[in-house]
Structure 1
Amino acid sequence: MPVGLLTPVSASLSISVGIAGLMVTLYGVSAGLGVPFIVAWTRRVNRRVLLSALLATLTLGNVITAVSPNYPLVLTTRLVMGFASGVFWAIGVSMAMRLVPERHASRAASVVMSGISIAAVAGIPLGTVVESLTGWRTTFLVWAGLGALVFVAVVVLIPSLPSANAVPVREVFGLPLKNVPLRLVLFTVVLFVLGHFGAYTFVRPYLEDSSSATPLVITVLLMLYGAGGAAGNFIAGYTVNRSLRGSFTAGCLGLVVSLLSLLAIGHGPAGAAVSLILWGVSFGVVQLCQVNMTQAAAPGTFEAAMSLNTMAYNTSIAVGALLGGLFADHLGVTSVVWFGVALTAASLLLTLGARRKTSRAVPGDALTPAGTTGR
């Protein structure tokens, strides 16, 4: 959500847009680097209790952000909130799989993955809409209220879930060394997340600079992006069963094309709309695929593998936002889009290269364990 609020936050707190981007950077640092340790250290904690604690932390953090008198307090709060957000990424899917009969486990996982994907693409436009109607501080209060409602729902509705299949820290970090498909997935995730979030963190300043878009136009464009993301997530929900790796490849190609399109025709509302819709659809596809790819690569240690995925994903968000801020402040926001093109293209090339290499060595889908598609 804060990605869509960088401009009003920077204006309100008298900081540059690049410095405001640290809200995303520090959040990603803590969400990424701390997760494998926290997941392992809490491996004996009941997962319902842990999830409730995470939601309470996020709710309180949004309240503090809303009333913060200065930017250092905002950054400190975001840092703490990142830990809670990252741990949810690691435990949420496995919790869902345990809540249903075993025959429905993959379906439950898909539901949660879809929720994560839709939230990832809808959070920015929704936050922008609320901000345009109220203000950025009220927007954080609204999100705090939603967090409180979910906290109550978890406490009331989710049954006790003692920790299961948790892995000690030393074994978590050893997984990529022993599991080649998981290692390839993690490298791929790092590249596309760096490119996507490096560019997308500054999409609002880019639109304001390149097309002189008004706040209303930007809100509409980001809503179109969110709708595209939801559509992409829906499409991927069907295509991953037929070709998980092919779906991810198509999504990565769409990311590259959409960013190039934004540079070429994004100087007016119509061109920007086409580009952002394609961008949203493509990200919705790769977002769902990459979680399925992680599950397919390490089905027996999924929670531990997801903690590594979360570390790679959120750390890459942080680094992407940081590098994007440097590009934006020193070379202009257009350079941030070119940064996104380069990194998403690298992710695409890695996927294609890995496919050619593994197809010569192993028949079938080398990124997917035999008999599984990750769903």
Structure 2
Amino acid sequence: MTDLRTNETRDKATSRSRAWAGVSAITASLFVFLTTELMPVGLLSPLSTSLHISLGTAGLMVTLQGLAAGVGVVFIVAWTRRLDRRLLLSILLTVLVVGNLVTAISPSFALILATRLLMGFASGVFWAIGVSMAMRLVPKHQASRAAAVVMSGISIATVVGIPLGTILESFVGWRGTFLIWSGLSLLVMLCVIATIPSLRSTNTVPVREVFVLPLRNARLRLVLFAVVFFVLGHFGAYTFVRPFLEQSSSATPVFVTLVLMVFGAGGALGNLAAGHAVRRSLRGTFIVGCVGLVASLLVLLGVGHGQVGTTISLAFWGLSFGIVQLCQVNMTQAAAPETFEAAMSLNTMAYNTSIALGALFGGVLADHIGVTSAMWLGVALTAVALLLAITRNGMFAGAN
């Protein structure tokens, strides 16, 4: 009897370890998807110089991938709703491996944009299914913890991934950087295959029903509006942070790398703090994060000409973004708990389309008025998200 109990205990421990290894593999997947999507932010200047294009045109690498992720996600998630999620994630990572490889060796910017378009479709689907996959791997009472672990991949990407891309560019060039990321994506795909069991889809919502969710669910509709405005503002400014720092404070590539790491570290702290704070007040935590986004951009505009002021503002900006980022996932889940994957596909559509439009609007302003105007765009749009959170209580009804 003792041996039987020992074996049962060992089996349970093995099952838990495998489950959390799967969660870690999904977190690593988020890391490579996000760094691939946002890597041009840290490489914008050398990319534009090498390809003989303007900064605004180079920013289309972010715009097009975000647009594809936003436009295609609802359809692809619905069409693949009966496909095993482990197989689907492996396919998405394969697209990432090939896409980064093609980007590294591409002879033309047109081919790079076409490749980013295809990678955008894969990225959007991952954002819609990744968190729900992680939550299904672990016991129900640990589901929220698994979601928080996966979302920490965002902080890891901003702390390590994007700055690392900037550092690698200085040694191997931007093409070599994308080649390395292709290999890293392959490694993550192998980890997914090795650690994640077969996961049949639990989402049976067809396309036509996904699009009516916001019409039937007023709370989800408000959440999506808030997501749109804070993402438009954040990425409208963040996409052009390197050119802004180079022009306003004559920042060197090394300093840009360091402050991007500071931004990421702030995001990690914000993610951690929000993980505890949302249990007490989701609305209050989201409002605090939005206030921080607006304030940090104003500080950057006011004292961004010096290294100390820049570092402080980027740290505060990252902290605030980490808070808001985790809040919006919790807000989506709370608004549509029974159709979470479908709601997340809408969230992903709104989020990534807003990344694309934010980068596009920021690029137009940067090319025609100056990069400082992209920062002011960020102030204005994140302020709208803040006003929504303050004035629309229905967005958080029953959340805490």
Relative to the length of structure 1, the TM-score reads: 0.94
Work out the CA distance in 2 between the residues paired with 1:130 and 1:230: 22
* Alignment partners' CA distance in 1, 2:159 and 2:216: 33
CA contact (8 A) 1:240 1:247 kept: yes
Deviation at 1:120, TM superposition (A): 5.2
Q: Does 1:310 align with 2:310?
A: no
Match in the other structure for 2:230: 192
Query: SS at the partner of 1:135?
Result: helix
CA offset at residue 297 of structure 1?
Answer: 0.6
**Aligned counterparts of 1:293 and 1:19: Cα–Cα separation in 2:** 34
Which residue is 1:110 aligned to?
148
The residue that corresponds to 1:362 in the other structure is: none
Distance 1:202-1:32 versus aligned 2 partners, 3 A rule: same
Identity %: 69
Q: Is the 8 A contact 1:118 1:233 kept in 2?
A: no
Per the alignment, residue 130 of structure 2 pairs with 92
Aligned residue in 2 for 1:172: 210
Matching residue's letter, 2:302: A
Residue 367 in structure 1 maps to residue 392 in structure 2: no
1:16-73 Cα shifts (integer Å, max 9, x gaps): 0100000000001100010000000001100000000000001110011011111001
Asked whether the equivalents of residues 155 and 264 of structure 2 are also in contact (C-alpha less than 8 Å), the reply is: no
Tell me the alpha carbon deviations over residues 266-293 of structure 1, each in whole angstroms, 9 at most, x when there is no partner: 0011111011000010001101111111
Equivalent residues of 1:118, 1:284 under 8 A apart: no
State the match for 1:280 in structure 2: 318
Match of 1:6 in 2: 44
Letter in 2 for 1:207: L
User: Which amino acid in the other structure matches residue 164 of structure 1?
Assistant: T
2:373 matched residue in structure 1: 335
Displacement after TM superposition at 1:166 (Å) = 2.8
Tell me what 1:36 maps to.
Answer: 74
SS in structure 1 at match of 2:392: helix
| Paired residues for 1:142-161 under 5 Å | 142-161=180-199
> 2:43–2:169: 8 Å Cα contact kept in structure 1?
yes
More helix by share: 2
Counterpart contact for 2:100–2:179, Cα < 8 Å: yes
- Residue 44 of structure 1 aligns to a residue whose secondary structure is coil
| Pairwise CA distance, 1:367 | 1.3
Per the alignment, residue 278 of structure 2 pairs with 240
Q: Output the CA distance in 2 between the equivalents of 1:133 and 1:197.
A: 27
Q: Distance in 2 between matches of 1:170 and 1:207?
A: 45
Q: Is the 8 A contact 1:252 1:348 kept in 2?
A: yes
Residues 153-209 of structure 1: per-residue CA shift (max 9 Å, x gap): 111111001111231001100110011111110000000000000000000000011
Tell me the residue number matched to 1:361: none
What is the match of residue 75 of structure 1? Answer: 113
8 Å CA contact retained: 2:86, 2:196: yes
Q: Give secondary structure in 1 for the equivalent of 2:396.
A: coil
Q: Secondary structure at the match of 1:329?
A: helix
CA contact (8 A) 2:159 2:260 kept: no
Q: Which among 211, 214, 231 is matched to residue 269 of structure 2?
A: 231
The aligned residue for residue 56 of structure 1 is 94
Aligned residue pairs, count: 362
**Residue in structure 1 matched with residue 201 of structure 2 by the alignment:** 163
Deviates more, 1:11-20 or 1:136-145: 136-145
User: Aligned in 2, Cα 1:187/1:41: closer, same or farther, shift over 3 Å?
Assistant: same
Structure 1, gaps ≥5 residues long: 359-365
Compute the displacement of 1:116 (Å).
3.5
Q: Which runs of 5+ in 2 are unaligned?
A: 1-38
2:253 is aligned, of 215, 220, 242, to 215
The answer to which of 317-326 and 110-119 deviates more is 110-119
1:256 corresponds in structure 2 to 294
- Flag as ranges the 4+ runs of structure 1 deviating above 3 A: 120-123
Partners of 1:36 and 1:328 in 2: how far apart? 31
1:300 to 311, 333, 338: 338
1:83 and 1:334 mapped to 2: Cα distance? 31
C-alpha displacement of 1:226: 1.1
Match of 2:34 in 1: none
AA aligned opposite 2:363:
G
Q: CA deviation at 1:221?
A: 1.2
**Contact 1:30 1:83 (C-alpha < 8 Å) held by counterparts:** yes
- Whole-angstrom distance in 2 between the partners of 1:120 and 1:299: 29
- C-alpha deviation, 1:127, in angstroms: 1.9
Q: Does 1:18 align with 2:56?
A: yes
State the 1:119 CA deviation.
2.7
Deviations 1:72-122 (A, max 9, x none): 011000000000001000001111111112222222122212223543565
Q: Distance in 1 between matches of 2:155 and 2:350?
A: 17
Give distance in 2, aligned partners of 1:256 and 1:137: 35
Deviations 1:324-352 (A, max 9, x none): 00000000000110011000011101110
Which amino acid in 1 is paired with 2:338? G
In 1, Cα distance between equivalents of 2:313 and 2:276: 23
Distance in structure 2 (CA, Å) of the matches to 1:84 and 1:18: 24
Q: Does the residue aligned with 1:327 lie in a helix, a strand or coil? A: helix
Q: Distance in 1 between matches of 2:300 and 2:203?
A: 45
